[in-house]
Chain A
Amino acid sequence: MRTVVSVSDTVVETPSTITLRFPYAPSAEPGQFVMVWFPGDDELPMSLSYTDGVSKGVTVKAMGDTSRRVLALAPGATLGVRGPYGNHFDLTPRRVLVVGGGSGTAVLAPAAEGAIAQGAQVTVALGATRASELLFKDRLIQARARVKVATDDGSEGMEGYVTGLAASLLDQEPFDAVWTCGPEVMMRKVCAAASEHEVPVFCSVERHMKCALGMCDACALGPYHVCIDGPVFPAERLINSEDFARFHRDPSGRRVPFGGPAPA
């Protein structure tokens, strides 16, 4: 069920983020993810940052041991890919606010491009810790999105969290939908800001995954399984969940708080 592919191209996007491009024929929609196996290492769920055509791509931030090793990969590296899995963004809304935090923008970029190609007006609130960590800013500008920037340290754009930028954009103009991906605390705030204006929000959520087939329960999030019921969830499925922005499950299945102690 896996296809072994060879990395055709690597792009260092930011000091902590790399894009791997590889030929993978199955058709995919923006928002979907693949399971990427680094032979001899782990297999991880990764949202596709490039969904069109055969040349797919994932954009990986160095977070754990495996993703740190991924950052050192070069063209020619071998991967096992399966998928795509999960649901995707609905690209039909006409006025979309995209709110991307850090590497979360990886899954939002192809959605923004797809919506613009269908005639939507897309505004992007792009956030990162600092200017050098802004992901896909040029790509989004090139796609004719209106890009607004916030950085935690003020090194580019508005100083502060992207949630504040998103909230002010929502105050200023009407949107038909908000798409967001990033830390769940951030997404929760985006949901709250958009709900004041009754704008529907769709969040791309990440959980530890093993099977990606709705079987093993590793990615359980309340009554949902992120792999088959997500990874894109309408806000109303998340905001009343005890887990959203608060708990995830470690590989043993223990429910642990975000930012809590690492598993044994």
Chain B
Amino acid sequence: MAELGVRLAGITLRGPFLLASGIWGESGESLAGAWRAGAGGVITKSIGAAPRLGYPNPTIEVYDQWGMLNAMGLPNPGIDEYPKEIEIARRAGATVIGSVFAGDETEFARLSERIEASGVQAIELNLSCPHAEGFGTEVGSEPADVERIVRAVVQRVHLPVIAKITPNTPDPAALAVAAERGGAAAISAINTLRALAVDVTLRRPVLAHGLGGLSGPAIKPIGLACVWQIYEKVRIPVIGVGGIRTGTDALEYVMAGARALEVGTAITFDGIGIFARLNQELSERLDALGYARLEDAVGAAHSPPS
């Protein structure tokens, strides 16, 4: 069996498949459940300064196996409450990565300090939620902003900082380069793509918020392209995310340059048991191709055999 454990940004992951932020992430017991199901690490819901209810329903539209549209609106219990949940996940032995969102670099830095103190092993900055006014993509679409935010956080925390970047710009790789300049230890790519669903009978958007973010198999080729371009432009490791549902999907990301992977929407389709299946499938795929370790396959598609 090929070795799936990876070193990433100074932390050791027992496996490459991380629970993506926003899925099973409000309660510590759910994070622990994803860990027990075989996730190599769990990324929390994006946490902000204060409790936030999120948007009213409908917050979600699911397409037949190929995608999902959501506009949850960054609901979260706030940084004062949330460390309790992290503690529950940590007690279960989980490798926990804390995700934070904020409107400017000062708040990002303050929240990152707080979440660092809660005992997480790394921090992921949500610079990419596509549907929350004043947050996410709105503060993470310009390289200069990304660099400034990442630098402000890196100066205040000791943990590795991961920048989760948006695909909703002409040049996502430029955002990754900026994050690396700011001191990021890794890049997560991609977040969801801005998208819309309309109910023609009702003549209105389906989601209460109108615009949402598209995830799932439909966005895998876009995520792969982003990871591919980022891998060529940065030295720090890349975490691939977007539409991973099979071991082959995962290996595509790995060969495009990803060192770890995030899984989210597939849990909706396949259940939390998907982590065990992905570990199995990826391991078998690597074995069949003669790789002893996942790490040996990272970026393989950039230098194909002649």
Contacts and interface: CB of A to CB of B under 8 A. Distances in A.
A18 B64 CA distance: 33
Nearest to B203: A39
A228 B273 CA distance: 13
A25 B84 CA distance: 44
B213 to A, nearest CB: 13
A42 B70 CA distance: 15
Interface of B: 22-27, 29-30, 32-33, 45, 51-54, 56-64, 68, 70, 72, 75-78, 81, 84, 199, 201-202, 204, 206, 208, 264-265, 267-268, 271-272
B contact face: mostly helix, strand, loop, or mixed? loop
Contact of A250 (B32, B53, B57): B53
Contacts, number: 118
Contacts of B63: 1
A42 B72 CA distance: 13
Between B75, B77, B199, the greatest number of chain A beta carbons within 10 A of the residue's beta carbon is seen for: B75
Interface in A1-33: 1-2, 4
B78 A252 contact: yes
Interface string A33-49: 00101011011100000
A242 to B, nearest CB: 10
Interface in A208-236: 210-211, 213-218, 220, 222-223, 225, 228
Nearest to A241: B29
A243 B268 CA distance: 24
A39 B27 contact: no
Given A254-B78, A254-B81, A211 B59 contact: yes
A78 interface: yes
B75 A214 contact: no
A149 B81 CA distance: 43
Contacts of B62: 1, 213
B60 A213 contact: yes
A257 interface: no
A249 interface: yes
A251 B54 contact: yes
B27 A4 contact: no
Contact of B26 (A2, A40, A80, A220): A220
A76 interface: no
A4 B78 contact: no
Contacts of A43: 56-58, 208
Interface string A236-264: 00000000000001111111000000011
A4 B201 contact: yes
